[in-house]
Structure 1
Amino acid sequence: MKKETNLITISDVAKASGVSKTTVSRYLNGKFEYMSEDTGKRIQGVIEEYQYRPSNVAKTLKSNKSGLVGVIIADIASQSSSILLKGIGDVCTSHGYQVLISNVDNDPAKEREYIHSLMDNRVEGIIVNTTGYNEDFLVNINETRVPIVLADRTMDELKIDSVTTNNHKMTFDTIKFLVEKGYENIAFFTENPINNSVRLNRRQGYLDAMKELLNIDAEKLIYTINPADKKSCAKAIEDFNSLYKNNMKAIFTVNGVILLSVLKGIQQCNYKIPEDFYVCGYEDWGWATLVYSQMPVIAQDTYKIGVESAKMLIKRINGKADPKPRYKELDDVLIIKSR
């Protein structure tokens, strides 16, 4: 009677094949020169009959290679996170790696805990979409345990391999586009920046553009929105409108979550786009132009961030990277619809 698949051991395969465990091990590791063709076929036949699967743990302990890559996601509820993960997954799969994913809900304590858990599972490297609160911890892990690549969210000082986009420049250029269209009253709607490098860089790009192009200290025109509070965005829109009631007004949104909140808030307040507010910003998730067909949107290639992060990590794992940390900045694109 055949044993249950999950109870089959290398000893069972060796016994049924009439060879030693060493010979079976050599076969599993592709060392066919140590056996005859008939012996190899016999071992393969037993493996198929018993549906034997080698223990990954045993292989890892022996080779110190698990074939596993860990991924830390700050907030998996964000649409961009799923796109980032697809980019990472596609590259890792093509290179023979499996991906272990941990969502930390923007919680720094969870980020540290789950990174320890991934290392307990013997991952060969970790891609981190970080909360922004564990810089020293991440640097230490990268220098002493496993290689880390930061995806999208980065650090002020380059100490770890990082992939992001030109957030500051793209925001600056988009504000310039608005100014050239005749808008001087431009608000910046954002989630709480906290330690999120992406939001902070976009915020600074806005402030720099407003100062350089219009000589305006625009701190008072930054509105921090709580997407979970339906009244939060509507109140900010009314506050902004009260400042420039009869003037042309534009709203720049820091990301797709806030863009959606702004579009809902404008509808809730019975305003119209572009008559009352000209709206543009991050990100192009495919539905913004359904509200207003000519709405400019910034497309961030989040998939490519995932792809480049995975390539960078695998190169680091295989010892083919320069010892110094590497930084790669991809270009975002402002998509301007025309009639």
Structure 2
Amino acid sequence: MDTNINRVATELNEWKAREERFEKIFSPSILKDPAFLREKLSFYNHVQAKYGQSANDEEKITLRILAGQRMELRDQLYPSLLRKLYHFITRPFEEKRIQQQATQKQQGNLRALGDLMKKHGFDPAPDKLFAHVNQGQKSFTIPISHFVSESEKINYNLSFSKQHDGTYRFDHYQASLQSAKDSRQVVSQVFKTDAKDAIRAEQAQHLLAGRALMREGFDHSGAPKPKWIQLDFTDKDPSGNHKIKQFLHSYGFELEKATERLLQNQHISQENKQNFLEALQRGERQPLTITRGNDSVKLFVEANPQFKTVNIFDEHAKKISIGEALGEKAIKEQIRALAPKQQLSSHRSKKNGVSI
């Protein structure tokens, strides 16, 4: 744990802010109300029990001061000797109960955060989560990064915030796709985590790379109709996020039809074809090896719903047309090259009196 962080002081400051809110709701006299003072004593007892075993020197000092405040408050609320004796006897059991509740609550919160991180495609990182949650900060971030390729690196910053009940929530994450050669070449986007169809880490990577992916969608009657989404790098919202282009089912993009010409006459099984199409739907740039004459050619393909087609790249990542991919351009050039020779041959034959 960071020894510069005083968790006890943090909790006391949060209580102070709570007092200020109640003063505005009611009046300054509420702070002397017996009901409110009992809540305050309960809070002090909770903090004492929760952090009583702390090894942090700053927290130890704060707890010793708090102990005096607790005693004064208890004497004010319960002046009789019998009540003091009762609190003295029951306090150890109460503190143990509070410690157990705090531990169970924290463990449950850590499990929930880990599950949500996993759902969004991130390593739960239990050690990092525990270290941050145990510090009691109002908010914290966990950075994650890895190389996508030799030329690109993806960076994620996962943001968490503390709630009123003391638990933490995984609010959002910022994803940045960065050039490994030039750190200034970077594309970033913030993705929320509370949506039912929230974007997962690998989907964020595909979107930042400029690719489109298929998402769940529904028509006016509520029937499921998938849609395609893609970041609009020419337009941003007020928060600085790129706006999202949507291509609904009614837009008319059919992936299977867009790849039909590319896949026809290729010896590709139905299973491999389905896997290929599903990869494009996920937003991947999918490798595809096709047979062209006697040669095997490796291509890379990605969906392009806006223009109702697919983008095709050669093995050097150069974008090419479908005609170039299928070798049709080369065939046409050969035909054009042969045409003058055929015409010359025909002319010579006629000149020599030979009909062809």
Place the TM-score, normalised by the shorter chain, in its bin: under 0.3
Please report the TM-score for the alignment, with normalisation by the length of structure 2. Answer: 0.24
**Greater RCO (Cα-Cα under 8 Å, separation 6 or more):** 1
Q: TM-score, normalised by structure 1?
A: 0.25
Bigger radius of gyration: 2
